[in-house]
Amino acid sequence: MAKSILVRVKLLGSGTGGDAYRVNLPTYAHIHGDVTDGYAIVSIPLDILGLSDDDLKGETPHQTTEGPLYMILSDDNLKKAQDHLDSAYPDKGHALELVSG
Amino acid sequence: MRITTPGQARANYYDRNPTPVRQGYSVIVGPAGTTQRLAYTVPANRKAWVNHLHHRFHRITVAAPVGQTQLDVTDETSTVPMAQLFRVTNVIGDTDQVDLAPNTILLATQGIQMRSTSTDTGGTADYTGGWSITEYDA
């Protein structure tokens, strides 16, 4: 798998057995969840989003102790990521729902 | 007379564009509702062999009162968790772990998840989990 980045995305679920706190992405590691404000920071391999290092050159991440955190992405990268999620994981309804805060 | 055409030999799964997937997580947390800590989903036109996984609990500070901690691994091939660990302990340093070589094949768009749940009041614990998966062309 490619290198991973951090993204801040919408937190789903109620924290119960049948409705776990989670995010709407196919492959990730949960880093931090804020139930009050409804977001989670997750680590996700770039190839899961269909993005490359070149795609991120114009983006400005927050530097964190866990690595670069992308709270905002350009419309082009968001569209590219969504198109990739739709084709690589058809009928799953995954989405990169960024929460910029 | 029967005329047959032998099928073309197909490469073994480990020779069909294999990709190793090594994912893990480690957190020190207080009580929390059910949280999906790790997730992996097989992309379209691929399959995945789950070679190995582990999920571990380690008590850091005491709870008051202690509840039950549950760590599990679920996949979409069954309604029953692949692995489950229940722990009611309040002893600092107490550890429990599940190690498994499930040898499960996941089909395209099927997923596997690691989750944690704690009904403690206060206290902290270290949860660690990870898996080794080989993804390949279906």
Q: Is residue A99 part of a domain?
A: no
Strand duo B124-137 + B46-61: pairing: antiparallel
Q: Is residue A34 part of a domain?
A: yes
Test the B interface: residue of A4, A10, A89 with most B CBs within 10 Å: A89
Res B6: pLDDT: 67
Q: Is residue A100 part of a domain?
A: no
Residues of chain B above pLDDT 70, percent? 97
DSSP line for B37-53: EEEEEPPTTEEEEEEEE
Q: Is residue A70 part of a domain?
A: yes
Q: Which one-letter DSSP state was computed for residue A57?
A: G
The domain total for chain A is 1
User: B85: part of which helix (H) or strand (E)?
Assistant: strand B83-87
CB contact under 8 A, B25 and A14: no
Residue A2 has pLDDT above 80, yes or no: no
Q: How far apart are CA B136 and CA B138, in angstroms?
A: 6
Res B105: pLDDT: 94
- Whether the CB-CB separation of A81 and A96 falls below 8 Å is answered with yes
B99-117 pLDDT per residue, tens: 999 989 999 999 999 999 9
Q: Which residues does chain A have within 8 Å of residue B43's beta carbon, measured at their own beta carbons? A: 26, 88-89
- Whether the CB-CB separation of B90 and B63 falls below 8 Å is answered with yes
Number of cross-chain residue pairs from A and B with Cβ atoms under 8 Å apart? 69
Residue A24 burial by Cβ neighbours in a 10 Å radius (0-12, 13-18, 19+): middle
Residues 6+ apart with CB under 8 A from B44: A87, A88, A89, A90, B108, B109
How confident is residue A31, by pLDDT bands cut at 50, 70 and 90? very high
- Whether the CB-CB separation of B92 and B61 falls below 8 Å is answered with yes
Segments making up each domain of chain B, as ranges: 16-120
Q: What tokens were used for B111?
A: 């997923």
Q: Is B34 on the interface with A (CB under 8 A)?
A: yes
The phi, psi pair for A56, rounded to 5°, reads: -90, 0
- Residue A45 is part of which domain span? 4-88
Q: Is residue A98 part of a domain?
A: no
Nearest to A22 among B32, B36, B41 (CB): B36
Q: Is residue A68 part of a domain?
A: yes
ipTM of the complex: 0.94
Res B82: pLDDT: 87
B61-93 pLDDT per residue, tens: 999 999 999 999 999 888 888 888 898 989 999
CA A73 vs CA A37, A40, A67, A77, A101: distances in Å: 20, 16, 16, 6, 13
DSSP line for B4-44: --PPPP---GGGSS-EEEEEEEEEEE-S-S-EEEEEEEPPT
Calculate the CA A93 to chain-centre distance: 14
Q: Is residue A94 part of a domain?
A: no
DSSP line for A35-47: TTTTEEEEEEEHH
A53-90 pLDDT per residue, tens: 999 999 999 999 999 999 999 999 999 999 999 999 99
Q: Is residue A97 part of a domain?
A: no
Q: Which residues does chain B have within 8 Å of residue A35's beta carbon, measured at their own beta carbons? A: 33
Q: How far apart are CA A53 and CA A3, in angstroms?
A: 9
B4-14 pLDDT per residue, tens: 766 678 899 99
Q: Is B17 on the interface with A (CB under 8 A)?
A: no
Q: Which one-letter DSSP state was computed for residue A56?
A: G
Rounded to the nearest angstrom, the minimum Cα separation between A56 and chain B is 23
A45-54 pLDDT per residue, tens: 999 999 999 9
Residue B2 has pLDDT above 80, yes or no: no
Residue B40 has pLDDT above 70, yes or no: yes
